[in-house]
Amino acid sequence: MAIEVGLGVFSGEWHEGTGLDHRQTLVESIEQVRYAEEVGLDSVWVSEHHFHDAHFVGSLAAYCGAMVQATERITVGYGLALAPLHDPIRMAEDAAFLDTLSGGRFVMGIGLGYRDIEFEGFETTSKNRVGRTVELVDICRQAWTGETIEHVGKHFTRTGLRVSPVPVTPGGPPIMMGGHHPNAIDRAARIADRFCMDAGTDSEAYESGEGRNRALVERVAGVTRLYREALRKHGKDDSAPALSLNVGGLLHPDGADAAWDAIADAYLLTRRVYGDWYGLPPESYSSWYPDLLSPDEIAQRRSELLLGSVDDVLPVLLEVREIVGENLHLMFRSKYPIISDEITRQSIDQLAELRTRLVAGA
């Protein structure tokens, strides 16, 4: 058990104007994963979305497989797969394959999803997402034992089936579950191995129509408290809660202003996308561009991110470490669309230094 630092999120998305086609963009991302391993990071994370003008890669298993083959040590994980969209047998087989191929370097991170078009595209509905996810976890756990699956549920019936390969990790790869509602935290404590908090998007604020993030340490403290309570409720040890924190930002050796200048266009692009996904009125996010926001609005947006040099961001992360404990996994989002490879690699270098100092506690 130790503090770990990883790089996220790889969406495989492609945008015009970068000078790269989609294939070149994907190849570049795999090389960035290699580089993250080279400098000493602990993990890389792939996200899932479908049916959007940003041209996201929807095939997580294939994307992760390419990353596994390109590396030797680093953990590769779903961060997060949209569990209700998947057939549980296929999910179990893909995860078993990735665990086996990687020699136990795979984490199956899953979430519920929320976009109607994604549920419609996979012929399901959001109202069934919790039940489908819970049953998927049960089927996966059974499948990874190497014994026959015997599951009869409301959403899936799978009996008399045996999945191969049997994962090299005893019991199968770790399952990480994300979410923000207390029910999601309780569910993760009950049936998963780790909880993932998305500090990059304050879902409660977006769902309430606010569209802006609250202070990071305040949110981490609240989630950690709820997660500890849920672990105790389900008879599990809460002394070192397994918590992953997906935090947005960019590290830059020249400080916070340089970091914001490098990331502003890309970050506000992602905010407009999330504004659309969460159903905010278009007029509320149509002005979310660097040259259209007021100084106060820019300051608010900057406060949502960890920006600057290692010295700038380390103090707040040491506070987070003090709250969570030694089982903290920091998933730092330095991989943004339309950001150059040079800037991304520079941030990866800074992230490696951050890891060294965060682990050391200084």
Over the stretch 94-127, which tens digit does the pLDDT of each residue have? 999 999 999 999 999 999 999 999 999 999 999 9
Q: Which tens digit of pLDDT belongs to each residue from 153-203?
A: 999 999 999 999 999 999 999 999 999 899 999 999 999 999 999 886 555
Task: With a cut of 60, say whether residue 19 has pLDDT above it.
Answer: yes
- Rounded to whole angstroms, how far apart are CA atoms 276 and 210? 13
For position 201, what pLDDT does the model report?
58
Residue 275 domain flag:
no
Residue 277 domain flag:
no
Token duo for residue 276? 């659309």
Task: With a cut of 50, say whether residue 288 has pLDDT above it.
Answer: yes
For position 289, what pLDDT does the model report?
96
* First and final C-alpha spacing in the chain: 18
Q: Which residues contact 88 (CB under 8 A, 6 or more apart)?
A: 135, 136, 139, 140, 143, 156, 158
Residue 29 domain flag:
yes
Q: What is the CATH number of the domain that holds 256?
A: 3.20.20.30
Residue 273 domain flag:
no
SS3 207: helix
| Mean pLDDT of the residues in the chain | 94
Residue 279 domain flag:
no
- Rounded to whole angstroms, how far apart are CA atoms 138 and 212? 36
Contact in structure between 98 and 106 (CB atoms under 8 Å): yes
Contact in structure between 32 and 345 (CB atoms under 8 Å): yes
Give the mean pLDDT of 74-82. 98
| C-alpha atoms less than 13 angstroms from C-alpha of 284 in its C-beta half-sphere | 15
Q: What's the total number of domains in the chain?
A: 1
- Rounded to whole angstroms, how far apart are CA atoms 270 and 267? 5
Pairing, β 243-251 against β 194-198: parallel
- Rounded to whole angstroms, how far apart are CA atoms 343 and 248? 15
Burial environment of residue 63 by CB neighbours within 10 A (0 to 12, 13 to 18, 19 or more):
buried
For position 325, what pLDDT does the model report?
94
Q: What are the E-state strand segments in the chain?
A: 4-10, 43-46, 75-78, 81-82, 106-111, 149-152, 157-161, 175-178, 194-198, 243-251, 306-308, 328-333
Contact in structure between 103 and 134 (CB atoms under 8 Å): no
Contact in structure between 76 and 44 (CB atoms under 8 Å): yes
Contact in structure between 72 and 40 (CB atoms under 8 Å): no
For position 213, what pLDDT does the model report?
47
For residue 9, CA distances in Å to 46, 292, 294 come to: 5, 27, 28
For position 278, what pLDDT does the model report?
84
3-class SS letters over 23-46: HHHHHHHHHHHHHHHHHCCCEEEE
SS3 61: helix
Residue 286 domain flag:
no
Q: How many Cβ atoms from other residues are within 10 Å of residue 260's Cβ? A: 20
Contact in structure between 247 and 307 (CB atoms under 8 Å): no
Q: Which tens digit of pLDDT belongs to each residue from 204-246?
A: 554 555 544 458 898 999 999 999 999 999 999 999 999 999 9
Residue 70 domain flag:
yes
Task: With a cut of 60, say whether residue 64 has pLDDT above it.
Answer: yes
When mean pLDDT is compared across 29-33, 73-77, 217-221, the lowest value belongs to 217-221
Residue 292 domain flag:
no
| Residue 167 domain boundaries | 4-262+305-360
Q: Which tens digit of pLDDT belongs to each residue from 335-361?
A: 999 999 999 999 999 999 999 999 998
Q: What's the angle, vertex CA 258, arms to CA 253 and CA 264, rounded to 5?
A: 130
Token duo for residue 98? 């990735």
